[in-house]
Amino acid sequence: MSLLELSGVTAGYGKIPIIREIDLRVERGETLAVIGPNGSGKSTLAKTVVGLTTFFSGSIKFDGLDVTSLPPERRALLGIGYLPQTGNVFPDLTVQENLEMGGYHLKGAELRLKTTEVLELFPELRDRLDQKAGTMSGGERQMVAMARLLMMSPKLVILDEPSAGLAPKLVERVYQKIDAMRAMGMTIVLIEQHALKALKHSDRTVVMVGGRIALTGTSEEVSKVDLRTVFFQVSRG
């Protein structure tokens, strides 16, 4: 049984659908990349899984449960972790406080143990726990945001453009963390505009154009396709 399954999903904002008739499965332990040009519906797809869009039709199942009508907070409690592209840290809180916000459901020894586990993946944060997140660089804030998300022990991690706006060296650092998460067996949906980067760090890839899925396959298979042709043909069609 797939961890996440979307069937005939159409969703958007207000009265306007952005993604249409999406059929998609995410298997346990895999990293699925979602790529496509600007405006293709990638982020809307992520927000729909989380419950942050207007839902028009279809169904969403997560871990065997129909979550189509559940609010975002219920989906989060079930294990859907979401890292938005912007506004993903509490800038006025310290790194330690940001982590505690992610582990709000934990108390005492459990919270300390989870914090220790997360800091093993993000050791660069150990000496920054008393620093306010808002005073950190963009790359450092992204590390805090990813660490805070993992404090929830999510069954599914959705990363929306984790490399957006970062310098190349910082992008590499972020993807080192993503590879480490993959090695730990986490299930990841990676929304990424930089196709080559996403293809290199994923198992399977979905290509979106015009709010629909234009192509899907293993990342190795998709890497051999001329994506510019896919974008052009679908957009014309």
**Segment holding 199, helix H or strand E:** helix 195-200
Contact by Cβ (8 Å): 24, 213: yes
What pLDDT digit, counting tens, does each position of 181-207 carry?
999 999 999 999 889 999 999 999 999
Domain identity same for 175 and 195: yes
Output the six-digit token pair for 148: 């805070």
8 A C-beta contact, residue 163 and residue 200: no
**Same domain, residue pair 190 and 221:** yes
Are 182 and 137 found together in one domain?
Answer: no
Both 11 and 54 in a single domain?
A: yes
Identify whether residues 32 and 51 lie together within a single domain: yes
Do 92 and 190 reside in the same domain of the chain? no
> Residues with Cβ < 8 Å from 227, sequence gap 6 or more?
35, 195, 207
Domain of residue 164 covers: 1-79+157-231
**Helix, coil or strand: residue 103:** coil
**Model pTM?**
0.93
The per-residue pLDDT for range 53-108, each reduced to its tens digit, is 999 999 999 999 999 999 999 999 999 999 998 889 999 999 999 999 999 988 89
Residues 18 and 62 in one domain: yes
The pair of structure tokens assigned to 121 is 């993946």
Copy the structure tokens of residue 66.
């129909």
pLDDT tens digits for 143-188?
A: 999 999 999 999 999 999 998 888 888 899 999 999 999 999 999 9
Which of 53, 84, 83 is closest to 68 using CA atoms?
53
C-alpha 50/C-alpha 71 separation (Å) is 8
In terms of Cα–Cα distance, which of 44, 55, 51, 59 is closest to 2? 59
The CATH number assigned to the domain holding 212 equals 3.40.50.300
172 and 201 housed in the same domain = yes
> In this structure, are 131 and 146 located in the same domain?
yes
| Tokens (6 digits) for 33 | 């990349």
pLDDT score at 194:
87
Which pLDDT does position 231 carry in this prediction? 78
Mapped onto helix, strand or coil, the DSSP state of residue 65 is strand
